[in-house]
Amino acid sequence: MSPIPGLQRVGLLGGGVIGGGWAARFLLNGVDVLLYDPDPEAPRKVGEIIAGARRAYSKLTMAPWPAEGTLTFVSTPEAAVVGVDFVQESAPERLDLKRKILGAASAAADPGVVFGSSTSGLLPTEIQQGMTHPERLVVGHPFNPVYMLPLVEICGGNATSEATKARAAEVYSSIGMRPLVLRKEIDGFVADRLLEALWREALWLVNDGIATTEQIDDAVRFGAGLRWSFMGTFLVYRIAGGEAGMRHFMAQFGPSLKWPWTKLMDVPELDDVLLEKIVGQSDDQANGVGIRELEALRDDCLVAVMQGLRAVDDGAGYGAGTVLAQYEKALFDRAAVPAVVDDSAAEVAGPLRTHSTRIPTDWVDYNGHTNDSRYAQLSCDAADAFLRLIGMDAAYLRGGHSWFTAESHISYLAQSKAGDAVHVTTQVLHHDAKRLHVFNRMYLTGRDGADDTLMATGEHMYLHVDTEIGKSVPAPQNMQDRIVAIADRQAGLDRPPQAGRYVGAPRS
Amino acid sequence: MSPIPGLQRVGLLGGGVIGGGWAARFLLNGVDVLLYDPDPEAPRKVGEIIAGARRAYSKLTMAPWPAEGTLTFVSTPEAAVVGVDFVQESAPERLDLKRKILGAASAAADPGVVFGSSTSGLLPTEIQQGMTHPERLVVGHPFNPVYMLPLVEICGGNATSEATKARAAEVYSSIGMRPLVLRKEIDGFVADRLLEALWREALWLVNDGIATTEQIDDAVRFGAGLRWSFMGTFLVYRIAGGEAGMRHFMAQFGPSLKWPWTKLMDVPELDDVLLEKIVGQSDDQANGVGIRELEALRDDCLVAVMQGLRAVDDGAGYGAGTVLAQYEKALFDRAAVPAVVDDSAAEVAGPLRTHSTRIPTDWVDYNGHTNDSRYAQLSCDAADAFLRLIGMDAAYLRGGHSWFTAESHISYLAQSKAGDAVHVTTQVLHHDAKRLHVFNRMYLTGRDGADDTLMATGEHMYLHVDTEIGKSVPAPQNMQDRIVAIADRQAGLDRPPQAGRYVGAPRS
């Protein structure tokens, strides 16, 4: 059940690098996916992309991810659009092929369903010809990796309706992207025209032996590329103009446009000599590091850059950091009905199962075991889930209230390692209007019906505070009521032996 | 007294945006600066740039900065090169002017002193004509802001010696930059050719009304620009090629070079109409935010991006993150006082200062505060540093021994947020042959001599184990001796009020 209103299920036409990236982004946002791709290898390839996305998303945010959607491979374009709320086409860049697939799929789809095309090189006016209801086709051009980069260019064709563009923007925004709606239909849209201009120049530099592929990459990533991750060329140049601003910059640097700096007049012949040169230099540059490793490194860097940009401006974020901050807010909002536990959980008399996950690879020490502090994180994540269960949603937080942790006690009982399935249960030990005292048991989840193993316990005291005045205040009555409901059902449980321990107390 | 061997004092010719950036970078690296600029406003302008750099550097790293160098304004080019170890020229981009200034300065300088020119548009072969010892002139082309961006392009002219290029690379590296030595002399070097190609295309897009300056900036910073902060175009495209790599990418996307995507054939006429359009759109985009505020925002973003990239790959860093990591290591090496702890620290009677860091951007919650579990991590990191201090090194670990955490107790006293400087002290509460009981105090480090604020405490019990048999065993005698030495010196310390607490214990 997707947490995004009006986006329960999408149909994907094509499951290559781009289509697989869309699959990952929709699935990890809790949306079910029907995917058509005639390549028999598609399930494996898409599966690898989704695995990469899971890894990256586990690092991207501490906001609550919804339960993953389900992925179903289908054997025809028509089958991919049955009962879907949106369709994204990512077939190879051949007009005849796209028209054929979109023609078949659009005839089978409900008339109101919007179609996005991932094309980077074809015009929507041409693509939409032959579709049933061509007004619902819009280009939604993403960037690789689709599950990480926020940008998606929206470009309508002659037949495209305004409502179609608005719906596409809404869908893309809801899965954490930043739509850029173009004013005119144009070859290459906007971003690829800019990329292509730089790329052609780069090819000239290699062709003429001025620089290697690695030097060209370095010339970008140690300089202008760092700026481009948060400000574009125009704003950067405005700043370079100093106090006098953009007019001064244009006056100062405008004339250099006439200088013979760039070989814009022509395109280098991509003959075998140039091709071998590029391929060989690229191999040297990669130095034997494989594509999966490079992808993981790229994703780690994107996570780091976007998280970094989220923290600037006192947490308001900037550029892609603002996109991430807003996305996290939306994830919290949608988790208002808790993602991990639901109301029925409050009916359970035993400790509540509040959190389930796998130990991520970056939680592991030099010795291969989960780092001590990650047990604290696991316990805190479970406590967060419990707080959401009793009503800590975005509206509540905006109201200036929160539960602050006063103290935590972790007892370590068994080791775990990367990839282990683990889960946490929560027991209320004590509560009053301002305080909540919980006890978490962290388990290695038994495989195939085997018993779970208790690997650590976490005991936490929370104080209910008014964040404006920074003082503890009673929790809202409906929140207190939910705590009472759970605590009453747990009243008959034994007190855990690790509860109330101080560090160094004798083991009971 | 500069901490960089052979770089006590530099001469700067020109103090605009670029020259002022060089002044800031050299000064904050502890190098004295003589600066010549005929503009009577230069001291004010340079002072503002240095103030901005100080602000950014205070956030960039916890590594120990050296004492700032001294800045002296002089009234002639000749006076700027007296007794200096290096000269950087950043005069306006006019060949006659540069030749005149460099001619005068080179005649007055010691013959072995290397001259770097910041030019982005003139060739070193032309610039060096008329110099005394022209073989010592090299282009060292930086990027704005010079005190932040690592890239500097090194390009020699016909007369330039190899020793000159090597010396320039050494100087730039020593102040935290990443030199890129070009193979051939070429107009626009490498980076500006790439930037210019993108810039011309951007001007066309504005000229033709396809997109506004803001949309063009967004098309970069929400997409390819994020990747460009750590990987250049060639490596990005290699990854886009998927398992088949660069050859596949070229085969797939090579033909699109022939498509009419980019208006490379011509340069838009920069007439009043286009100029007004760009200036107006740029004003809209800036929305009244002034240049100083934009500069601070830019620098904050650069800090965040570089720090983020430093943390990837298990702390090895990537791209500009590796440059920062290596720079920090050099700063630590150059600092006379040990960075964290060394043997002499065991002589200290108070709690040992075991760990110093800044709150990383991915430690903060949706509400902007450091997540609970990260205090546990901070305390564990300090405990790890303590264990290293008592002899837990690689040889010890290979021997099949380790200290396992039995339990941890964290008390939360104050909040912190991303970028806050923090440090941790460690006090031994109890120890025997198999057990170690420590108490950590986590502080917000006071700025500019202000008091530190206690923000959390962590209490930990460690057991010494034989990892082969999984049982606790006595620690090696030399390790026990070091614990005793520290504990004896701390024997007179008061027991911390948070020690021995159980969750829910009344506050003392």
Can you give the pLDDT at residue A243?
Answer: 63
Whether chain B has a CB inside 8 Å of the CB on A150: the answer is: yes
Residue keyed to tokens 């049933």: A132
Q: What confidence tier does B332 reach under pLDDT thresholds 50, 70, 90?
A: low
Instruction: Name the residue ranges covered by the structural domains of chain B.
Output: 9-189, 193-288, 343-489
Give Cα separations from A241 to A3, A234, A244, A247, B48 (angstroms).
47, 11, 6, 8, 15
| Chain A residue closest in CA terms to B92 | A252
Nearest to A278 by CA among A364, A203, A381, A168: A203
The strand pairing partners of A114, in sequence order, are A86
CA distance B224 to B213: 17
Q: Which CATH class is domain A340-489?
A: alpha beta
Q: Please indicate whether, in this complex, the C-beta atoms of B188 and A323 are within 8 angstroms of each other.
A: no
CA distance B336 to B464: 34
pLDDT tens track for A256-274: 555 544 444 444 565 677 6
A346–chain B nearest CA distance, Å: 24
The strand pairing partners of A401, in sequence order, are A466
Q: Which two tokens stand for residue B326?
A: 């290596």
Is the Cα torsion angle B245, B251, B254, B260 positive or negative in sign?
A: negative
Query: Helices A191-207 and B191-207 sit at what angle, rounded to 10 degrees?
Result: 150
Which H/E stretch holds residue A487? Answer: helix A477-489
Can you give the pLDDT at residue A256?
Answer: 58
Using a CB-CB distance cutoff of 8 angstroms, which residues of chain B are in contact with residue A275? 247, 250, 254
Phi, psi of A117 (to 5 degrees): -115, 135
CA distance A168 to A181: 10
Using a CB-CB distance cutoff of 8 angstroms, which residues of chain B are in contact with residue A222? 149-151, 178, 180, 319-320, 323
Domain B9-189 has CATH 3.40.50.720: yes
Give Cα separations from A378 to A369, A442, B60, B155 (angstroms).
14, 8, 30, 53
Kindly tell me if the per-residue pLDDT of A492 is higher than 70: yes
Can you give the pLDDT at residue B269?
Answer: 60
Long-range own/partner contacts, residues B292-297 (CB < 8 A, 24 or more apart): B292/B48, B292/B52, B294/A235, B294/A238, B294/A239, B295/A239, B295/B52, B295/B145, B296/B52, B296/B55, B297/A312, B297/A313, B297/A318
The strand pairing partners of B142, in sequence order, are B152
Q: Please indicate whether, in this complex, the C-beta atoms of A232 and B238 are within 8 angstroms of each other.
A: no
Whether chain A has a CB inside 8 Å of the CB on B463: the answer is: no
CA distance B355 to A253: 48
Q: Please indicate whether, in this complex, the C-beta atoms of B467 and A254 are within 8 angstroms of each other.
A: no
- Burial (CB < 10 A; 0-12, 13-18, 19+), residue A223, is buried
CA distance A182 to B319: 33
Return the exposure string of A132-169: e unless at least 16 CB atoms fall within 10 Å of the residue's CB, then b. Answer: ebbbbbbbbbbbbbbbbbbbbbbbbbebbbeebbebbb
Give Cα separations from B240 to A80, A90, B247 (angstroms).
26, 15, 11
Superfamily of domain A192-288: N-(1-d-carboxylethyl)-l-norvaline Dehydrogenase; domain 2 (1.10.1040.10)
Whether chain A has a CB inside 8 Å of the CB on B457: the answer is: no
| CATH code for residues B193-288 | 1.10.1040.10
Whether chain B has a CB inside 8 Å of the CB on A361: the answer is: no
Share of chain A above pLDDT 70, in %: 87
Q: What is the 3-state secondary structure (H, E, C) of A312-363?
A: CCCCCCCCHHHHHHHHHHHHHHHCCCCCCCCHHHHHCCCCEEEEEEECCHHH
Using a CB-CB distance cutoff of 8 angstroms, which residues of chain B are in contact with residue A183? 209-211, 215
Q: How many of the other CB atoms lie within 10 Å of CB of A48?
A: 16
Query: Helices B233-240 and A291-311 sit at what angle, rounded to 10 degrees?
Result: 120
Residue A47: strand, helix, or coil: helix
Query: Helices A191-207 and B233-240 sit at what angle, rounded to 10 degrees?
Result: 110
pLDDT tens track for B280-316: 777 777 777 777 777 778 888 888 888 788 777 766 7
CA distance A433 to A481: 10
The residue that leads in pLDDT, A415 or A258, is: A415
| Chain A residue closest in CA terms to B208 | A184
Kindly tell me if the per-residue pLDDT of A408 is higher than 90: yes
Using a CB-CB distance cutoff of 8 angstroms, which residues of chain A are in contact with residue B246? 278-279, 282-283
CATH topology of domain B343-489: Thiol Ester Dehydrase; Chain A (3.10.129)
Q: Which two tokens stand for residue A276?
A: 């071998």
Of B188, B235, B503, the CB nearest to A262: B188
Q: Which two tokens stand for residue B91?
A: 């005069």
Of B262, B412, B459, the CB nearest to A197: B262
Nearest to B430 by CA among B377, B491, B508: B491
Kindly tell me if the per-residue pLDDT of B240 is higher than 80: no
pLDDT tens track for B427-465: 999 999 999 999 999 999 987 778 899 999 999 999 999
Q: Which two tokens stand for residue A8?
A: 């329960």
pLDDT tens track for B155-179: 999 999 999 999 999 999 999 899 9
pLDDT tens track for B39-78: 999 999 999 899 888 888 877 776 667 889 999 999 999 9
Kindly tell me if the per-residue pLDDT of A27 is higher than 70: yes
Residue keyed to tokens 């994107």: A302
Please say whether the beta carbons of A160 and A135 come within 8 A: yes
Kindly tell me if the per-residue pLDDT of A434 is higher than 70: yes
Q: Please indicate whether, in this complex, the C-beta atoms of B368 and A315 are within 8 angstroms of each other.
A: yes
Which range has the top average pLDDT, A135-149, B196-210, B240-254? A135-149
Of A221, A282, A408, the CB nearest to B320: A221
Please say whether the beta carbons of B8 and B85 come within 8 A: yes
Nearest to A140 by CA among A86, A97, A94, A96: A86
Can you give the pLDDT at residue B417?
Answer: 86
Q: How many of the other CB atoms lie within 10 Å of CB of A35?
A: 27
Can you give the pLDDT at residue A338?
Answer: 46
Q: Please indicate whether, in this complex, the C-beta atoms of B308 and A312 are within 8 angstroms of each other.
A: no
Can you give the pLDDT at residue B340?
Answer: 36
Strand A453-466 with A471-472, pairing? antiparallel
The helices-and-strands tally (H runs, E runs) of chain B is: 16, 14
- Window 424-453 of B: residues touching A by CB (8 A cutoff) are 429-430, 437
Alpha helices in A208-349 (DSSP H): 213-219, 225-228, 233-240, 245-253, 272-286, 291-311, 320-334
The CB-side HSE value for A475 (13 A sphere, CA atoms) comes to 25
Please say whether the beta carbons of B328 and B362 come within 8 A: no
B70 DSSP assignment: P
Q: Please indicate whether, in this complex, the C-beta atoms of B301 and A264 are within 8 angstroms of each other.
A: no
Can you give the pLDDT at residue B342?
Answer: 43
Which range has the top average pLDDT, A99-108, A337-346, B221-230, B364-373? A99-108
Average pLDDT, chain B: 85
- Burial (CB < 10 A; 0-12, 13-18, 19+), residue A393, is middle
Residue A491: strand, helix, or coil: coil
| Chain B residue closest in CA terms to A286 | B235
Can you give the pLDDT at residue A263?
Answer: 44
Query: Helices B272-286 and B191-207 sit at what angle, rounded to 10 degrees?
Result: 100
Q: Which two tokens stand for residue B84?
A: 């200096």
Please say whether the beta carbons of B371 and A380 come within 8 A: yes
Can you give the pLDDT at residue A204?
Answer: 80
Whether chain B has a CB inside 8 Å of the CB on A319: the answer is: yes
Please say whether the beta carbons of A209 and A197 come within 8 A: no
User: pTM value?
Assistant: 0.75
One-letter amino acid identity for B304? A
Is the Cα torsion angle A336, A342, A345, A347 positive or negative in sign?
A: positive
Nearest to A21 by CA among A74, A64, A65, A57: A57
Q: Which two tokens stand for residue B334?
A: 């150059």
Listing DSSP states for B311-334 in one string gives: HTTTTT--THHHHHHHHHHHHHHH
Can you give the pLDDT at residue B441?
Answer: 96
Can you give the pLDDT at residue B337?
Answer: 35
- Window 91-120 of A: residues touching B by CB (8 A cutoff) are none
Q: Please indicate whether, in this complex, the C-beta atoms of A211 and B143 are within 8 angstroms of each other.
A: no
Using a CB-CB distance cutoff of 8 angstroms, which residues of chain A are in contact with residue B123? none
Please say whether the beta carbons of A15 and A46 come within 8 A: yes
Kindly tell me if the per-residue pLDDT of B403 is higher than 50: yes
Can you give the pLDDT at residue B129?
Answer: 96
Kindly tell me if the per-residue pLDDT of A43 is higher than 90: yes
- Window 211-240 of B: residues touching A by CB (8 A cutoff) are 211, 213-240
Strand B421-431 with B137-142, pairing? unpaired
Of A217, A429, A505, the CB nearest to B233: A217
A425–chain B nearest CA distance, Å: 17
Using a CB-CB distance cutoff of 8 angstroms, which residues of chain B are in contact with residue A282? 234-235, 238, 245-246
Can you give the pLDDT at residue A356?
Answer: 83
